[in-house]
Structure 1
């Protein structure tokens, strides 16, 4: 009996450790949108701007999409399609244009850090670049390497260029954690960003 109980406890502990290894800390999410955004009807088509969004492109030193940006694009498109939007065929026009940016900044806990800048702007009363964000994580045991991850998305009216919806998601993840891998990080941030889409405009929430 004792042997079986010990084996069960060991199995439970292994599962718990596995969950901790892939867990992502809570994601800080803020959204802004127009009072009555046009084009949310299921089946509405969108295109993705292949130039990384705003200052996020400058921060990663890229003017063309990278492989990591591709992970974020795929994660964002999955969320858009869960909302009923449809990707337009290559070369076709669409009522909505989606712009995507991401960034990751390395830092050590217990030391100084660089502020995260979000390159999202527009007519929804949203963000401006150069905003310092105090995201921290207390790992204990002295300084450890952490990555501050951010995803920024803006949905524009293609005809006018007016921003209809924009949002950012931010999280701090240990550098060596599986959750810092681009695919896992992109999926987590995108899922948090589009939770209860379009979300309450102007409010910052924490998504676990």
Structure 2
């Protein structure tokens, strides 16, 4: 596991804001969201947090993608009351670890265990099943890009999980909503909508 370097986040601040603005006018598909927590018994008290990515595929292109997702998640966590542990990350009250999985769903609806996603699975969602890589033939509907964001928030002091959630969206290949920047903003916003959300229930966020 690796935290995302702050310099990359800073370098992308301007471009990320532009992506958010463009997302306001783009037609984006709905997001399916599921959350798990025990907040009704032990309320989640927001505090300082550090964002970390479960990275298995590194490189310049992936670094840009991870920076975009890190910024989107942090923005939503700040919106619900958390603060970034920028100067004292090792002593943050919480750690938010996330995974990005992306795959291609063929226009014919076929699925296979072949995945083009990155990162490992998190929490109780298990290993998951990848989606097949389809070939789009002329005249047929376009394949869809399936992007899934999983986030788990743990207490640093004891490692206990206080909240975890998963958000997924399907967008036509080549459409604005299939681009990492817009997908990151859309998924993060949907995932933390009405935080902590209803536990164990899947909702669809427009």
Smaller-chain TM-score bracket: 0.7 to 0.9
Match of 2:18 in 1: none
1:157–1:195 distance in 2 versus 1, CA, 3 Å = same
How much is the aligned-residue C-alpha RMSD, in angstroms?
Answer: 2.8
Aligned pairs for 1:134-173 within 5 A: 142-173=140-171
Q: Distance in 1 between matches of 2:196 and 2:175?
A: 30
Q: Distance in 2 between matches of 1:107 and 1:172?
A: 9
Task: Please tell me whether the aligned partners of residues 103 and 130 of structure 2 are also in contact (alpha carbons under 8 angstroms).
Answer: no
Deviation at 1:108, TM superposition (A): 2.1
Match of 2:187 among 178, 186, 189: 189
Normalization by structure 2: what TM-score? 0.73
Q: Distance in 2 between matches of 1:195 and 1:131?
A: 26
Match of 1:127 among 106, 125, 128: 125
Deviation at 1:80, TM superposition (A): 0.3
Match of 2:65 among 65, 68, 72: 68
Unaligned runs of 5+ in 1: 1-17, 134-140
Deviation at 1:164, TM superposition (A): 0.7
Unaligned runs of 5+ in 2: 1-21, 132-138
Q: Distance in 1 between matches of 2:32 and 2:112?
A: 18
Aligned pairs for 1:12-161 within 5 A: 22-35=26-39, 36-37=41-42, 39-41=44-46, 44-49=47-52, 52-53=53-54, 57-58=55-56, 61-62=57-58, 66-92=63-89, 93-114=91-112, 119-121=121-123, 126-131=124-129, 142-161=140-159
Q: Which has the larger radius of gyration?
A: 1
